[in-house]
Amino acid sequence: MALEPSPLSFGSGHNEIQSLRSFLAQLPEHELLRVDDTVEADYTATALVMELENRQRSPVVFLETPMPSGIPIVTNLFGCRERIAAMVGTHASGFNEAWSHALANPIPPEITPTGSVHDNSIEGPSMDAGMFPICRHFEGDAGRYISSGILVCKDPDTGVRNLSYQRLQLKGKDRFGASLHSRGHIWEHLKRCEELGKNLEVAVVIGVHPVINLAAAAKVAKEVDEYDIAGALLGEPLQLVPCRTIDVEVPAGAEIVLEGELLANENEDEGPFGEYTGYSTHRSTRNIFVLKSISWRNNTIYHDIIPGYSSEHLLLGRSPREAFVYMRLKEMVPNLTALNYPRSGTHFHCYIALKKSAEGQANQALTLLMGLDSYIKLAIAVDADVDVFNEQEVLWAMATRFQADTDLFVVPNSFCNRLDPSARDGTSAKLALDATAPLGWDVERAVVPPTAIEHVQKILDTKITQT
């Protein structure tokens, strides 16, 4: 079945405030790169975002007519920290607090009978998920993958909803391969269903207001419904509609919903897939997702998340994690001032800054940090005058405030993430570096007065226009 190709149109209909379209409509023009050339869906989104990253640019990318479907693709929504912070109504420096506030003040959703997600629906033999521009991202990928699909399901015992991402490999008109490799809540739900010989009902939601994407990326307790976190981030209850064929609820203004089941006790090959480590991986739980129904909005927009080692894939997973780790660490180390997982280290490196008031505090903070997040393999502590978001400054602090015979320690043989190709049977060594200066250090940093910088910034702003 062919869908109607459409230009980007932002209606004012039902639930628009909570939709992907409402977010795109209020995006400043310079943050949206529209590509109206005729391009192939396969590889183009990945290549464009990677090339933009090489040029240190991170706009939202909108492919107006990717072939063969002609359905628009939006991608790179999560390509930079400042935009992610703006999604939750703050600046990059305020994200951790805003996130923690939302976790502490959840707002449960409301169910409404109808929503624009049901503008079009189809069931039965004429269903074909391949009509959407589900694309290939990397040469090594086994096929076309949905990377942005939020899998919504319910705990089979308590009924508490769960939202998380699991890659989906298009295998047939109504069939996908899935990997629940991070052993999250959905994996647990499926295990319990399998013991009863029952399939797990799942709705795959594609194209929603980005705070719902952020909430789905969060690791919260299994008693917490991630929709409540999305509501808290939006400041109002999410409007949900019941699915048509399964007992699951989905955002009323979602672009696309695939209703179906993860099959109990059936497995088949899935992958390889380009993972966040930057490597193509064969690791997979080899699950199968079979469709019962497809719904989509008029003039639908397909949302793609560039997988692999892209900034957006890393930042989407990392922003909630950074906020969690920062807030926990700050409880124990009140003079912590900043924390960053640099892109260069995928999820395995972390830099922290602190206003040291006693010797040994950096080592205490580094020990706690590596205990809080088992992914971390390298942790570096610097003083508060060093910008942990500027990798060059962190390396400069290493060059000038660090001595390798006294300022490091290694934790051997620790639990780690198995996707690290250098891991040994799920364990790895952890390296902690203290690049803070000794207290009372008799060395002064050469600085330009801030007033002079502000002055030249004004001059440059009038002379240099960004292209």
Ligand X SMILES: Cc1cc2nc3c(=O)[nH]c(=O)nc-3n(C[C@H](O)[C@H](O)[C@H](O)COP(=O)(O)O)c2cc1C
User: Which one of Mn ion, ligand X, none is in contact with 179 (Cβ closer than 5 to 8 A by kind)?
Assistant: ligand X
Residues 419 and 439: their CA atoms lie apart, in Å, by: 39
Name the nearest CA neighbour of 176 among 70, 299, 266: 266
Task: Compute the least distance from the CB of residue 79 to Mn ion, in Å.
Answer: 25
Regarding 181 and contact with ligand X (CB under 6 A), the answer is: yes
Write out the binding residues for ligand X, residues 185-214 only, by CB under 6 A. Answer: 185-186
Q: Does 179 bind ligand X (CB under 6 A)?
A: yes
Q: Which does 317 bind (CB under 5 to 8 A by kind): Mn ion, ligand X, none?
A: ligand X
- Contact string 283-312 vs ligand X (x = CB under 6 A): ----------------------x-------
Residues 141-160 that bind ligand X (CB under 6 A): 147
Q: Are 200 and 294 in contact (CB under 8 A)?
A: no
101: partner contacted, choices ligand X, Mn ion, none (Cβ within 5-8 A by kind): none
Does 219 bind ligand X (CB under 6 A)? Our answer is: yes
Sequence-distant (6+) residues with CB within 8 A of 370 are: 376, 379, 411, 414, 430, 432
Told to check if 165 binds ligand X by CB under 6 A, we report yes
In the chain, the largest separation of any two C-alpha atoms, in whole Å, equals 77
Residue 154 binds: one of Mn ion, ligand X, none (C-beta under 5 to 8 A by kind): none
**For residues 230 and 166, what is the distance between their CA atoms, to the nearest angstrom?**
19
Give the DSSP letter of residue 135.
Answer: B
Select the residue interacting with ligand X from 18, 96, 164, 319 (CB under 6 A).
164
- Taking the C-alpha atoms of residue 160 and residue 142, their distance in angstroms, rounded to an integer, is 33
Which entry of Mn ion, ligand X, none binds 356, CB below 5 to 8 A by partner kind?
none
CA distances from 357 to 142, 333, 335, 362 (A): 53, 11, 8, 10
Under the binding rule (CB under 6 A), the answer on residue 280 touching ligand X is no
Other Cβ atoms within 10 Å of 222 Cβ, number: 13
Q: Which helix (H) or strand (E) holds 189?
A: helix 185-195
Is the Cβ of residue 31 or residue 155 nearer to ligand X in the bound state?
155
Residue 165: strand pairing partners: 150
Report residue 382: phi and psi, to 5°.
Answer: -130, 170
Name which of 165 and 326 has its Cβ closer to Mn ion. Answer: 165
CA distance 148 to 402: 42
Distance CA 134, CA 149 (A): 11
Among 70, 184, 242, 371, which residue sits at the site for ligand X (rule: CB under 6 A)?
A: 184
> Least distance from C-beta 324 to ligand X, angstroms?
11
Stretch that binds ligand X, among 64-72, 162-170, 244-252, 347-355 (CB under 6 A): 162-170
- How many chain residues interact with ligand X (CB under 6 A)? 20
Other beta carbons within 10 Å of 283:
14
**In the beta sheet, which residues pair with residue 291?**
260
Instruction: Pick the closer one to ligand X by CB: 207 or 317.
Output: 317
Shortest distance (Å) from residue 185 CB to Mn ion:
4
- Among Mn ion, ligand X, none, the one that 166 touches (CB under a kind-dependent 5 to 8 A) is ligand X
Quick one: residue 266, left, alpha or beta (phi over 0 = left, psi -120 to 50 = alpha)? beta
Asked if residue 298 lies in contact with residue 116, where contact means CB atoms within 8 angstroms, the answer is yes
- Residue 171 interacts with ligand X (CB under 6 A): yes or no: no
Using the rule CB under 6 A, is 112 a contact of ligand X? no
For Mn ion, the closer of residues 162 and 213 by Cβ is 162
Q: Which residues bind Mn ion (CB under 5 A)?
A: 162, 185
Residues in contact with ligand X by the rule CB under 6 A: 147, 162, 164-167, 179-182, 184-186, 217-219, 305, 313, 316-317
